[in-house]
Each structure stands twice: as C-alpha cells, then as structure tokens.
Amino acid sequence: MKKIINDPADVVSEALRGMALAHADLLTVRQDPAVIHRDDAPVQGKVALVSGGGSGHEPLHGGFVGPGMLDAAVPGPVFTSPTPDGVQAAIEAVHGGAGVLLIVKNYTGDVLNFETAAEFAAIEGTEVRTVVVDDDVAVKDSLYTAGRRGVAGTVLVEKIVGAAAQRGDDLDACEALARKVVGGTRTLGVALAAGTVPHAGQPGFTLAEDELELGIGIHGEPGRARLPMEPADALVRRLVDAVTEDLPYTAGDEVLLLTNGMGGTPQIELYLAHGIAAELLAARGITVRRHLVGSYVTSLEMQGMSLTLLKLDDELVDLWDAPVRTAALRWGM
C-alpha cells in the first residue's frame, strides 16, 4: 500500500481538517462525531437534507453540502457507515423547524445506523423521514441479497431534492420527490482494479490484466461477474444494455446520463465512455437531455466507472438546472 497518509486511523479526521480550510466560506466541519454542515445552518423554515455513509467516496457526501443541495453530511470511517451519534448530531445542527430528510444508500450498515438515529430524533420530537437510494441494477434478485445497493445515482437524488428543499417544498413533497427520483434512477458499474482501504492495506480484490469485474458496488466489494477485458465500445454497450433493460428506459424517454469515475479513472476515459453511451442511447431513441461526467461517487482509487440513467420530466430538469453551490458541484450561483 502506498498512500499519502499518516496513521490509517487518522485519515478521515485529517482529511476533514483540510476540507474545512479549503471550503471555509461554505462549510462548517465538526470532529467527533464528524459532521460537515452548511455554515449558515440551520436554515429556518427549510426542510433539511442530511446524507452520509462511509468515507472514501469523495466528493460524496461532504462535497455536496451547500445551498441547493445537502444541509449536512455525516462521514463515517473509510467504507464504514457513521454511528447514530453522528447522524443525530447532524440532524440537530441543521434542523430548521421544517423537518429533516435522510438520504441513505442501501447498504446494511448505513440503513441500520440512520434508522437508529431517526428513532432517537423522533423521540426528541424532530420530524425525520428516510429515503433509501437503491439504484444498482447489478443486484437482480433482491430476495437473495441485502437488496439493490445505493451507488452513483445518490448524487442525482441529492441535487434534485436539494433544489426542491431550497425553493421551499415541504417535507412531504421532498420525500415524495426523492422516492420519484430513486424510482427513475438506475446504475451499473464496472471495475478494472480495486481500491485499497487504508486500514486493510491491500486491495479489496485483485484482477488480472485481462479481467474486469462487472456490477461492482462502491466499497471495494467484488461484483457479480468476472469477465474478460474488452474495448470501450463493447464495455459501454454492456453497461447501457443492462441499465436500459432494467427500468426499462425506452424510445421517447428523456434522461440524464451520468458517467461516473470510481476514483482511479482519468476524465479522458470518462468522456470517451460518455460519448459512446450517449450514441448508443440515441440509437435506441432515448434523448439525453442533461449530462454529468466526472468522479462524483468514488471508491477510493478504484479504477473503473459506472453509468447512471435518470428518467427526466420538465420538473426534474428545472430542479437539476437550479443553482447549486457546493465544494464539488456548483452552477448558477
């Protein structure tokens, strides 16, 4: 393992220190329990959006805290969900009297810890709702797994619901919108090489030079199938086929296409893949109305990418286009 770190146990707290300095105009960062929140929180009368999960997925979630998106993010240890204490601290820091919506990725630890925190908050009299993101099509039959994982589509949920909360939608409306976005979002990822968790010291799995892992999640866990490496055309087609067939997305649909890097893939390859994906979608009569290309939901230095489709309507386009000011996503303000 070769990383720019000191003690593996200090990685998250030391990274948060740097993040606090870099974005002092936007964020307040607390340690122990770790919470990143808008520096103007709580915003009175606005539904507060809180998300979080293990660290190592940067810029998710702390990079998406700010006006038009999340009110707070709760970073756990690397690839480990935060404890309920952290989530409770975040809820208390950002609750502006209009309720709190928790955006949780469907991973067992995240769901259990956020659920526990929501119970405590309810006892304190704070109105808290939870929406679980489960956009990963790699998990076909949820009867035999912990269910579809929440992966790159999470950033779309956070942006769109964040815009709705910013314009003054109430908790019911934000919750309903979040469920709608989750329902219209599907993702599939592929890895060429795994990332290394600092405290484990070696990669989550190893792939030969001529192998790829299809259907990976975002924690270095292996996927559903190991296949021979193939050129981008074939690989992207494989992802587009699987994602479009799942919802399904069909001719006439308008979508947002997110080509997401897993942390170790350069932007040039992401743009290359994005161009292929958009062309394949066009051939199916699916219009890409909005694009996002970059590394937004990562898995440390995992080499690979995921493709996400979100079915759009005019309301979702407006909310997507609405101003946002965060460390990692910023337009219109």
Question: Is 126 an interacting residue with respect to other proteins (CB under 8 A)?
Answer: no
How many angstroms separate the CA atoms of 185 and 150, rounded?
10
SS3 of residue 226 by DSSP? strand
Using CB under 8 A, which of the segments 83-91, 175-183, 243-251, 319-327 binds other proteins?
83-91
Are 293 and 277 within 8 A, CB to CB? no
Question: Is 154 an interacting residue with respect to other proteins (CB under 8 A)?
Answer: no
Nearer to other proteins, 162 or 204 (CB): 204
How many angstroms separate the CA atoms of 66 and 320, rounded?
15
How many angstroms separate the CA atoms of 230 and 211, rounded?
8
Q: How far is the CB of 214 from other proteins (least distance, A)?
A: 12
Question: Is 234 an interacting residue with respect to other proteins (CB under 8 A)?
Answer: no
The enclosing H or E element of 37 equals: strand 35-38
Question: Is 99 an interacting residue with respect to other proteins (CB under 8 A)?
Answer: no
How many angstroms separate the CA atoms of 60 and 295, rounded?
10
Q: How far is the CB of 140 from other proteins (least distance, A)?
A: 9
From candidates 29, 91, 100, 138, binder to other proteins by CB under 8 A: 138
Question: Is 249 an interacting residue with respect to other proteins (CB under 8 A)?
Answer: no
61 as an active site residue: the answer is: no
Are 308 and 190 within 8 A, CB to CB? no
How many angstroms separate the CA atoms of 95 and 100, rounded?
6
From candidates 63, 109, 150, 261, binder to other proteins by CB under 8 A: 109
Catalytic residue among 23, 37, 61, 219: 219
199 as an active site residue: the answer is: no
Helix 108-123 and helix 84-94, axial crossing angle in degrees, nearest 10: 50
Question: Is 83 an interacting residue with respect to other proteins (CB under 8 A)?
Answer: yes
The residues annotated with a catalytic role in the active site are 57, 219
Site residues, other proteins (CB under 8 A): 54, 76-85, 107-109, 112-113, 115-116, 138-139, 144-146, 149, 197, 199-200, 202, 204, 215, 217, 219-224
